[in-house]
Structure 1
Amino acid sequence: MSGAAAASAAPPRLVDPFGRAIAYLRLSVTDRCNFRCVYCMAEKMTFLPHAEVLRLEELDRLCAIFVGLGVKKIRLTGGEPLARRGVMTLFQALSRRLRARELDELTLTTNGSQLVRYADELAACGVKRVNVSLDTLDPAAFAAISRRGSLTDVLAGIEAADRAGLKVKINAVAQKGVTEDCAVPLIRWAHGRGYDLTFIEVMPLGDVEGEWSQRFLSLAELRADLAQRITLAPTPYRSGGPARYWQVEETGGRVGFITPMTHSFCDSCNRVRITCSGRMVLCLGAEAAVDLGKVLRESDDDRDVEIAIREAVAQKPKGHAFGSSEARAPRASARPISLTGG
């Protein structure tokens, strides 16, 4: 088949009603996690029944369909993705698409606690970089936030990722009463090891203990506070995500700010999110979702799933409503962050 004929035979790419081409899939492989971070999960969580969670083979099939529709980047999330039993078989399956150049990047977001065990395998599967969630280097503050996590395990996991050749980026959720004191030490530590660091605003998602607004810290406020202690200069650097970066003169590193609450970044949204049960979340800040898992299990014909995906993308909203009064009282969505990843 000629190049022109092959192009004409390929299915049309995914484009939402606002002209945004969808090239990035964030796939949750589990809603479970070995931590219980206060802004993400309740202390006593009710998890999905195992029967509702897609098998790894089903997740691979779903990824294949999205790749066929033009998705070039896949990020596996959770919960904690590396807590899922057998998850490396999914990484291995997806790595074949990297080798075939059907996929440009395969990566993950992790709490870091399992990287000692899996970093070398991830690198062997073609994973080049990982995002590690780490809000503080203070052991007491870390224990209070994670409730079940070990800072020692996370730091050892980050070191293992380094040894395996994985590029590390640190994600920190900004929290009132915590981040003001932790931010500068975290920046200096990350930059001293060559890691970019991104701060993220708390979002009003899920049924967690306490009112989210009590934890909320505006990143404009945080940046102004940081500017009193370190020298920040704006930079045009972009990582492909919603973060806006600033250069730190004293360290030579970059600090990113993701501001879902105070400054929308929806105009450039090129992603969709799928839960571990196969529900395609139309926007992180809304309840609406389409059950692709049901279609996947009811039909062996990938074209049926493709139709459902296109119908879902056609419903993708222009942007989230995090900044609205409706979203702030009390939650934009009852769906926990652990169900979709951030």
Structure 2
Amino acid sequence: MIDPFGRTITYLRVSVTNRCDFRCTYCMAEHMTFLPKKDLLTLEELERLCSAFVDKGVRKLRLTGGEPLVRKNIMQLIQRLSRHLQSGALDELTLTTNGSQLARFADELADCGIRRINVSLDTLNPEKFRAITRWGELARVLEGLDAARRAGIRVKINTVALKDFNEAEIPDLVRWAHGQGMDLTLIETMPLGEIEFDRTDQYLSLSQVREDLSSRFTLTDASYRTGGPARYVAVAETGGRLGFITPMSHNFCESCNRVRLTCTGMLYMCLGQNDEADLRKALRQSNGELDLGRAIDEAIARKPKGHDFIIDRDHNRPALARHMSLTGG
């Protein structure tokens, strides 16, 4: 699959549910209205869609949410998709999780061939963790991280950099993650969905964060890539890797190799645009795989050059009305 700008699409991110057991303040409103279950694709339909993309050249498949591990019978889907790892059609099957369910599922995930996961974690302070997630318990997440590592799964920590919340804590997060043998990636907050306050109060440029970290650590650009948008540096003092995802201060659109599928079957060719393709309709039409393949091809042909994200005092509303949990975190 090659888009209009010559980029080969090899990475599919799939939101298996828009539900989550946390309510992170930069991601969701506290009182969310989630989709009725009848509107969701079945696990069988999700498997068919993912497999269609693998057949068309996707080599990396990431399951997201919401929180993917709260989807009922999610391990059935993961087990079915793992056959693409066994056949060699897929290089990697992975997921992004908040870690709340990892202690329960880590061994099963490893048995299905999942070797690496991303865990979202923004602070190591239990009170601040409860405040940012509204419902989360830090101890439960840390227990899940231990379970994943015992199962042989490599963990990368994703941290959203938030002004006046965790910016002073970032150096300690680097030392902690690297001390546990985990990479850490810092992410700028993105203007997706209505929340209870102005995102300009949260936004922290990672250019400034990197400058601050450079006064504490020796940072050297690294060629390491995972297939996603992060750009990495090696941290000499810790021996670990630190990633930066900068959709606001420096977008990464020129090398975008991914598309996103929602739990309702809508394909977004760009996280920061509203254009979508209804793959559920194609999936359920009588011609089945033929119609689905044609719909995917038509969608990739509309992939835009880049996103329109902006956060400033003149743009108080989010760039897009949909929440990250719908598109897939």
TM bracket, shorter-chain basis: over 0.9
CA distance in 2: counterparts of 1:96 and 1:41, whole angstroms: 34
TM-score computed with the length of structure 2 as normaliser:
0.97
Structure 2 letter corresponding to 1:196? D
From 26, 29, 43, give the equivalent of 2:13. 26
User: Which residue of structure 1 lines up, in the alignment, with residue 243 of structure 2?
Assistant: 256
Q: Does the C-alpha gap of structure 1 residues 327 and 87 become closer, same or farther in structure 2, counting only changes over 3 Å? A: farther
From 206, 225, 230, give the equivalent of 1:219. 206
CA distance in 1: counterparts of 2:184 and 2:209, whole angstroms: 14
CA distance in 2: counterparts of 1:211 and 1:53, whole angstroms: 31
Between the two proteins, what is the percent identity of the paired residues? Answer: 59
Q: Determine helix, strand or coil for the equivalent of 1:18.
A: coil
Correspondence 1:318 to 2:314: no
Any idea what the Cα deviations from partners look like across 1:279-319, whole Å, max 9, x if unmatched? 00121011111111122123352110111111111111001
User: Which residue of structure 2 lines up, in the alignment, with residue 59 of structure 1?
Assistant: 46
RMSD: 1.5
CA distance in 2: counterparts of 1:125 and 1:132, whole angstroms: 18
1:325 to partner: Cα distance: 7.2
Correspondence 1:146 to 2:133: yes
Any residues of structure 2 matched to 1:262-277 within 5 Å, and which?
Answer: 262-277=249-264
Any idea what the Cα deviations from partners look like across 1:211-259, whole Å, max 9, x if unmatched? 1111000001111122222222222222222111122121111111100
1:326 to partner: Cα distance: 11
| The 10-residue stretch of structure 1 (316-325 or 279-288) with the greater mean CA deviation from structure 2 | 316-325
Any idea what the Cα deviations from partners look like across 1:153-193, whole Å, max 9, x if unmatched? 10000000000000100000010012222101111110001
From 85, 89, 103, give the equivalent of 2:72. 85
1:169–1:196 CA contact under 8 A, matched in 2:
yes
Q: Does the C-alpha gap of structure 1 residues 63 and 327 become closer, same or farther in structure 2, counting only changes over 3 Å? A: farther
1:329 to partner: Cα distance: 4.3
CA distance in 2: counterparts of 1:186 and 1:293, whole angstroms: 41
Unaligned runs of 5+ in 2: none
CA distance in 2: counterparts of 1:326 and 1:64, whole angstroms: 43
| The 10-residue stretch of structure 1 (46-55 or 225-234) with the greater mean CA deviation from structure 2 | 225-234
Structure 1 letter corresponding to 2:125? D
Q: Determine helix, strand or coil for the equivalent of 2:33.
A: coil
TM-score computed with the length of structure 1 as normaliser:
0.93
| The 10-residue stretch of structure 1 (244-253 or 120-129) with the greater mean CA deviation from structure 2 | 244-253
Any residues of structure 2 matched to 1:98-177 within 5 Å, and which?
Answer: 98-177=85-164
1:168–1:195 CA contact under 8 A, matched in 2:
yes
CA distance in 1: counterparts of 2:188 and 2:237, whole angstroms: 24
Any residues of structure 2 matched to 1:240-319 within 5 Å, and which?
Answer: 240-299=227-286, 301-319=288-306
Q: Determine helix, strand or coil for the equivalent of 1:132.
A: strand
CA distance in 2: counterparts of 1:207 and 1:299, whole angstroms: 38
